Structure 1
């Protein structure tokens, strides 16, 4: 019998046709989804995060005005185009950078881009939170530009790679706005194309609108909580003294502020929320977000804990991605009036309240310590843990601090360009080390590892701690010179301080801190501090920085 009969040939043809049909129309299409990132953020590459979902990013951004201009409102229907699908956003739960070798992430081309400077943002009058009918922003397509390191000039800082992708949001109050916000306008905000200032009142400062973020709080909540009496009072006062407003009023700002910032500029990729006493490195922030995928739900900052809630400290700065705010905005629309607003009145702190709202929105918190910092340069413990990390923020800084730190950043970018990170090591070298001396009067350098003091009844009790001290330790409380000697004979001591409080006190420290001036009136205790300069220099040589440590989420 022949191998190929007409019937066998017909069966083969039909089978092949059926398989072809099923292959073309019948098999399920898994769809497009972004590549999962690494669960760590530590890579030597300075390249932006890369995805393999094949999306082309046609986002448009407002052109930079010649002067710093706040971000006006967009209509609520103004959404980024294209955007990651909701099901894609839920697939991406881990945090980190995408693997090397993948295709370019949405919005990334192999050439660097920047916004054109031909347009001007629409004029926004001082007002309360913008409504959907507010003026929209003039937009322009992105165009190729030279490398961001080509210049460090002050005008160029508004056009640096990734600058249009970020919205900076400052939370303030009527009691502090005149004192603290002008310094931000002269420094950070002079470089930021898109920003907004939210407060407990509507107004204007130096031509910049201030948005009343408490206006959206329900009338029932305002009637139930006594702090809103101050909210109504300050509307009629031109000069509000610091400390005269109920502190509980501040916690009501954060939830509507975050929501409104997203509504004002939904096409932004990242949102950085800071306060009036926060210092932010613009160059380091842009380099940081260039390593991240904006579609991933990032809620990150300096960690703090309240009960079982782990949250980002508001004053240190809070980074939120577009991916996180899409989820948050959905949760806000569904839960703010029914659940979240009632919770605010019962909680202590706005940043902890935001964390619970993020949990309800299925957005996890990731620590960005030490990049985002809860200390100031003067109170930080300068250790190897910080040394090679890029410095993004400082907290608890005053007007003079803001301007001093900004000048250092400006000098850094002018010399090194915008693609070399400014490390904690560099901040120490420029801000701290030049001021360390063997002896500094009227100064508290926060030495606190060991304290030597003599209690009133110490000599009467033969079993007291004082009686066990050597003669050198006992003499250390008598003078700054004697206190310094204790530090000298302790191999791991790098600084000391002496106080005339009581019978005298001597403190020694194993960690480098700078501290602040300790002015005293007549009759008050006097403070004297000093550092072991050679030991500090030797310690620095051990903290070699082979590459910047961008890793976070620890």
Structure 2
């Protein structure tokens, strides 16, 4: 049987259909964009063509993307795509403004311009560093951890800060005998943590100056270089806000200012900041002769942060103060007073692992709560905000088996069975103790008898905002502190004047954020 075409489809009509299909194929190849032209073409629809979103899978569930740390509350990738529609189109097909697979804190403005150096020692590395790796490392693109021995903790590398110190000192100085011991024990797969912290402290002073040079060598194009100790929490969000108010091409060396003889320096534990300009000035004078001078002085001086202050003085960069943004205490020991209330919080020194965990959780929640899609950043937080998180839920009229670190005024009745507390009163002789007791008022003497009487002494003192009591001693304080739980055998009870605290807070409801840098 001869082949026949479907009804209504004559050879002429078939030819017309063929030509139309051919024309459409030619038109598509010449005039429609090809997805092969850019790997992420589909991610960046044209600003004036919202209909192009039809090519994007907006129904897919991206909720299983892992939260690696501080993340914004963009609920899924579709919202991130929508957020890009207001941006101008580009032939280079830039990436979306926000990548939800990367922690939000790593994408904060200026994050890639900062190098953070964490200083530790081999004997404490496994006790201190892991907490920094699972918190700070999530946020900081340029993070370097320095020790007195190169080693790896998981996939994270620790640099030896001392490998380039002159052989004269490595071979002959007592501090470096400990350095050799650490390396020998580590090479034998031993536990270096048992070698002792005092000798590690002596070796620590050699690190600050070499660390800075190594960081500059690794990141010569950075704008800022920040150093903290491993037992310090760094508030990354607020640090970037502070740096945004500074000029990297001006000579800035800033921290909590201390003095060692005639040398003003930024205390290393609380952390310090160096601008690009300051580090470039340091590098300019870092000659072999100057290095020899610095090492000679380091061999006889107490501390590495003091030596950095000496070196920056030689570079003609004076130290500036950033206290109370940089603090020597964690939340539990901090005195929450009027001076710090409206100030941004950046570093918290002497933080244990549980302090760092709590501060990390607070910052995560703060970023999620205040994230701004337009600026891709979070609001700065103040000590007042941290107070609501760390202090407010814990304070009460009375709290048994708790020491809130009250110490501004101490009333103690001299007795043979008094439990020493390692404060100034305990180091006085019996005659001095009796003289102090005799100088107290009747109300103050009664305060040593009970929690109730101690509270009355606080109520009678207009500046007192909290107290603590244990048998024979009453202590009053003018700043709010949290403190910590104690063994029941200590028989310690603490209390807070809640009405005075409420009055204090209500009178400071409105805060003006100030990024105070005290240029000296």
Q: Which residue of 2 aligns with 1:403?
A: 357
1:259-274 alignment, distance < 5 Å: 259-274=213-228
Change (3 A) 1:485 1:248: same
Q: Distance in 2 between matches of 1:469 and 1:459?
A: 16
Seen in structure 2, the aligned counterparts of structure 1 residues 365 and 229 have a Cα distance that, compared at 3 Å, is: same
- In structure 1, which of residues 523, 529, 534 is the aligned counterpart of residue 494 of structure 2? 529
**How much does 1:185 deviate?**
1.1
SS at match of 1:216: coil
Instruction: Structure 2: state its 5+ residue gaps.
Output: 1-65, 69-83, 85-91, 372-376, 417-428
Of 267, 277, 289, 1:313 maps to 267
1:36-93 CA deviation, whole Å, 9 max, x = no partner?
Answer: xxxxxxxxxxxxxxxxxxxxxxxxxxxxxx999xxxxxxxxxxxxxxxxxxxxxxxxx
Q: After superposition, what is the alpha-carbon deviation per residue over 1:298-349, rounded to whole angstroms, capped at 9, x for unaligned?
A: 1111111111211111110111111110011122235443311100011001
Measure, in 2, the Cα distance between the counterparts of 1:472 and 1:459: 22
Conservation of the 8 A alpha-carbon contact between 1:499 and 1:506? yes
Hey, what's the Cα distance between the residues in 1 that align with 2:287 and 2:430? 68
Is 2:330–2:355's contact at 8 Å kept on the other side of the alignment? no
The answer on whether the counterparts of 1:163 and 1:193 sit within 8 Å (CA) in structure 2 is yes
What corresponds to 1:174 in structure 2?
122
The one of 380, 384, 392 aligned to 2:338? 384
Distance between the aligned counterparts of 2:452 and 2:195, measured in 1? 41
1:241 matched to which residue of 2?
193
- The normalised TM-score by structure 2 is 0.73
Instruction: Report the counterpart of residue 547 of structure 1 in structure 2.
Output: 512
- In 1, distance between residues paired with 2:466 and 2:104? 42
Higher relative contact order (CA 8 A, sep 6+): 1
1:304 paired residue among 244, 255, 258? 258
Q: Which has the higher helix share?
A: 2
SS class of match (1:492): coil
Matched, 1:414 2:373: no
Q: 1:216 to 1:464 in 2, by over 3 A?
A: closer
- CA displacement 1:446-480 (0-9 Å, x = unmatched): 2122111222599999x945345444322211122
TM-score (norm 1): 0.69
SS at match of 2:152: strand
Secondary structure in 2 matching 1:414: helix
Displacement after TM superposition at 1:143 (Å): 6.4
Give me the whole-angstrom Cα distance separating, in 2, the residues matched to 1:529 and 1:466: 22
Aligned to 1:450: 409
Q: 422, 425, 434: which one pairs with 2:384?
A: 425
Q: Which residue of 1 aligns with 2:156?
A: 208
Write the distance in 2 (CA, Å) between the matches of 1:549 and 1:164.
24
- Tell me if the contact between 1:301 and 1:366 (Cα under 8 Å) persists in the aligned partners: yes
State the 1:427 CA deviation. 0.7
Instruction: Please list the CA deviations of residues 240-274 of structure 1 after superposition, one character each: whole Å capped at 9, or x if unmatched.
Output: 22661402100011110111111110100001111
The DSSP-based 3-state class of the residue aligned with 1:323 is helix
- Within 1, Cα distance between the matches of 2:228 and 2:438? 51
Give the 5 Å matches for 1:184-195: 184-195=132-143
- Please tell me the root mean square deviation across aligned C-alpha atoms, in Å: 2.7
Structure 1 contact 67–190 (Cα < 8 Å) conserved: no
In structure 2, relative to structure 1, the CA distance for the partners of 1:143 and 1:355 (3 Å cut) is: farther
Match of 1:519 among 487, 508, 512: 487
Shift of 1:233: 0.8
1:217 is matched with which residue?
A: 165
How far off is 1:546 after superposition? 3.5
Check the 8 A contact 1:153/1:414 in 2, yes or no.
no
Gaps of 5+ in 1: 1-65, 69-111, 113-140
Determine the structure 1 residue equivalent to 2:419.
none
Secondary structure, aligned partner of 1:257: helix
Distance 1:282 1:299 in 2: 18
CA contact (8 A) 2:406 2:466 kept: yes
| Number of residue pairs aligned between Structure 1 and Structure 2 | 408
